[in-house]
């Protein structure tokens, strides 16, 4: 890498004393050293604050701790708040319980610089695959995408991202142009990485890398975890199709998020994207047949035949 860029790493913490030291050690071990770490603790009640202040004392010029103002925001709002403090051309999101492989920043930044050389002034997002591990870092799956049957090439368009998210925050790099479109973020966002992916799909581009650059730790307190996409999981999901109201809640939440997205960006959206969002938010106002015809017509689809059959059955 010939071109030196300082990248910002955004770390949201909350009661993370058990796994946070391993994460911070993995940042220290990065092959690319020109990074800043911006941390906002979300009113932890354990030893997390002491851990991050000790880390800042080791790297006073590299670590910035944002005042929590006594407000517990939750993971989504915490990360969206952190975006406001980033000044670098590129920024990455960091979860307190994962471990970064040493080449993560270097590989992602190389990809970002390659994109910039070919397409300048474009907002973009890059995300990569992960290695799924248990709480002791034993490997559960070598590929998060295979584990959850995610196809990043399929799930990058606006219609599909309105329905489901395939971008994992801790595997994501965005450029400054995309960040400037995201902040300030409104109320009603389901999760920060999902919102960022929606903005990128509407106003820029989403790129993906097959590299597996994070040990994605699964434990009992994950805000969002990895579920194995296997026969047992599919059967469980099939059984719960009878509980239609419970399953509809998640769908209604995506419609609320789509409405928020439309209100936030309607003056900047392409007419074709406005139409897509309008069709999505009105799906539940359509009759049984028209609703399903519009799901197929406008591409409001998930990954895989089983997921889509389940979706069509329950909506």
CATH number for the domain that contains residue 174:
3.90.550.10
Domain that holds residue 143: 7-217
Average pLDDT of span 16-40: 98
Residues 6+ apart with CB under 8 A from 192: 75, 76, 77, 79, 80, 93, 169, 185
Strand partners, 194: none
How does pLDDT run across 49-83, given as a tens digit for each residue? 999 999 999 999 999 999 999 999 999 999 999 99
For the chain, what is the mean pLDDT?
92
From 169, 192, 217, the end of a domain falls on 217
In angstroms, the Cα distances linking 160 to 166, 207, 275 are: 9, 15, 14
Q: How confident is the model at residue 313 (pLDDT cuts 50, 70, 90)?
A: confident
Residues 119 and 196 reside in one and the same domain: yes
Residues 134 and 163 reside in one and the same domain: yes
Residues 212 and 237 reside in one and the same domain: no
Residues 186 and 251 reside in one and the same domain: no
Which of 234 and 43 is assigned the larger pLDDT? Answer: 43
How does pLDDT run across 178-208, given as a tens digit for each residue? 999 999 999 999 999 999 999 999 999 999 9
pTM of the model: 0.91
From 161, 194, 217, the end of a domain falls on 217
Q: Which of 120, 125, 119 is nearest to 165 (CA)?
A: 125
Q: How confident is the model at residue 242 (pLDDT cuts 50, 70, 90)?
A: very low
Residues 49 and 147 reside in one and the same domain: yes
**What is the pLDDT at residue 231?**
52
**What is the token pair recorded at 258?**
């789509």
Residues 237 and 288 reside in one and the same domain: yes
Residues 204 and 288 reside in one and the same domain: no
Is residue 64 a part of any domain in this protein? yes
When divided into structural domains, the chain yields a total of 2
**What is the pLDDT at residue 228?**
62
Is residue 223 a part of any domain in this protein? no
8 Å CB contact between 133 and 140? yes
Note if the bond before 51 is cis, omega within 30 degrees: no
């Amino acid at each position: 890498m010939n071109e030196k860029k300082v990248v910002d790493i955004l770390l949201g913490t909350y009661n993370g004393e058990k796994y946070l030291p391993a994460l911070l050690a993995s940042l220290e071990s990065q092959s690319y050293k020109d990074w800043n770490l911006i941390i906002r603790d979300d009113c932890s009640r354990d030893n997390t604050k002491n851990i991050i202040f000790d880390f800042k004392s080791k790297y006073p010029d590299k670590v910035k701790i944002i005042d929590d103002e006594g407000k517990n925001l939750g993971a989504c709002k915490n990360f969206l708040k952190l975006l406001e403090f980033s000044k670098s051309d590129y920024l990455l999101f960091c979860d307190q319980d994962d471990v970064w492989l040493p080449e993560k920043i270097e590989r992602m930044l190389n990809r970002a610089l390659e994109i910039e050389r070919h397409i300048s002034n474009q907002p973009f997002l890059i995300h990569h695959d992960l290695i799924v591990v248990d709480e002791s870092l034993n490997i559960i799956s070598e590929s998060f995408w295979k584990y959850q049957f995610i196809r990043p090439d399929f799930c990058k368009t606006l219609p599909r991202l309105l329905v489901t998210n395939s971008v994992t925050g801790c595997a994501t790099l965005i450029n400054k142009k995309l960040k400037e479109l995201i902040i300030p973020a409104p109320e009603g966002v389901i999760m920060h990485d999902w919102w960022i992916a929606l903005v990128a799909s509407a106003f820029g581009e989403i790129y993906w890398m097959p590299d597996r650059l994070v040990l994605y730790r699964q434990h009992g307190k994950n805000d969002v975890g990895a579920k194995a996409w296997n026969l047992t999981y599919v059967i469980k999901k099939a059984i719960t199709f009878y509980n239609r109201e419970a399953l509809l809640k998640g769908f209604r939440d995506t419609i609320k998020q789509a409405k928020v997205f439309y209100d936030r960006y309607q003056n900047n959206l392409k007419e074709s994207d406005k139409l897509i969002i309008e069709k999505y938010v009105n799906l539940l106002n359509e009759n049984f047949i028209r609703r399903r015809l519009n799901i197929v017509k406008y591409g409001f689809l998930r990954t895989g035949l089983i997921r889509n059959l389940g979706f069509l059955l329950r909506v």
